[in-house]
Amino acid sequence: MIHKMKKQINILLILLVISIPIVAQNNNMIFVKGASYKMGDMTGKGKDNERPVHEVTINSFFVSKFQVTVGDFKDFISETGYITDCEKKKGGMIWLVENRKQKYYFDSTANWRNVGYIPKENQPVTFVSWNDAVAFCNWKSKKDKMTPCYKIIGDSVVWNKSAKGYRLLTEAEWEYMARSGGKEYQFSWGNDSLPLINGKKANLRN
């Protein structure tokens, strides 16, 4: 599978989740049993690209129990000298909530080291792009003496599906996990939204 690497990409506030389709290397990996499930928007409230609902089958895999932390990413940067897309673009968008007020603005100093504040090393890393995540996976695979799953060829990335290294979850794998094993839920816990929090509904608690 080939994904085109965009020369100009949006900064993504993502949490890297790494999966490995072989035997778990340590207790930080958990087993997810493969299955068939109906993927897509069943509520009619989603976007057009989430329809039509269709059945997909995923193989069993292992996934990291924890999100990649700032400390993990720092080790990667220290050993490789890698420069993230956000750093190349000189900044990104910051979203903060302070005293119950929301702020969303561009910060020329924003990157994984500075997300509006200096994150602790045990917090999930953010301000990393898909390209950055792929580079991290390859580095982690080599560090753990496994074959990298991705080959970077010019502006393209080739996923070697036979490689026994770390990789990113596919969309189907992610949705399967987020919906508690492919259950026909609107939320991971069910179809009922959480009660009002400070006058607003949300799928999180503070």
Model confidence pLDDT, tens digit, residues 82-111: 999 999 988 888 777 777 777 777 888 889
As a 3-state breakdown, the chain gives helix, strand, coil percent values, each rounded to 5, of 20, 25, 55
Q: Tokens 């999180």 identify what position?
A: 204
Q: Phi-psi bin for 90: left (phi > 0), alpha (psi -120 to 50), beta?
A: left
Q: Can you give the pLDDT at residue 185?
A: 78
Model confidence pLDDT, tens digit, residues 133-172: 999 999 999 999 999 999 988 878 999 998 989 999 999 9
Number of separate domains in the chain: 1
Residue at 104 is within a domain: yes
Read off the pTM: 0.77
As a whole number of angstroms, the distance between CA 161 and CA 149 comes to 7
Q: Which amino acid is at 34?
A: G
> How far is residue 148 from each of residues 22, 23, 161, measured CA to CA in Å?
13, 15, 10
Residue at 203 is within a domain: no
Residue at 49 is within a domain: no
Q: Can you give the pLDDT at residue 201?
A: 55
Residue 152: how many CB atoms within 10 A of its CB? 14
Tell me, rounded to whole angstroms, the distance of Cα 133 from its chain centroid: 8
Helix or strand or coil: residue 172? helix
As a whole number of angstroms, the distance between CA 50 and CA 41 comes to 5
Residue at 16 is within a domain: yes
Residue at 10 is within a domain: yes
As a whole number of angstroms, the distance between CA 117 and CA 124 comes to 13
Which domain, by its residues, includes 151?
2-28+65-169
Q: Tokens 């898909």 identify what position?
A: 130
> How far is residue 163 from each of residues 61, 128, 158, 203, measured CA to CA in Å?
13, 24, 11, 36
Measured at the CA of 158, the angle between CA 155 and CA 160, to 5 degrees, comes to 160
Residue at 195 is within a domain: no
- Which is more confidently placed, 49 or 142? 142
> How far is residue 187 from each of residues 27, 28, 42, 150, 204, measured CA to CA in Å?
28, 25, 11, 32, 11
Residue at 9 is within a domain: yes
Model confidence pLDDT, tens digit, residues 4-15: 343 333 333 334
Residue at 160 is within a domain: yes
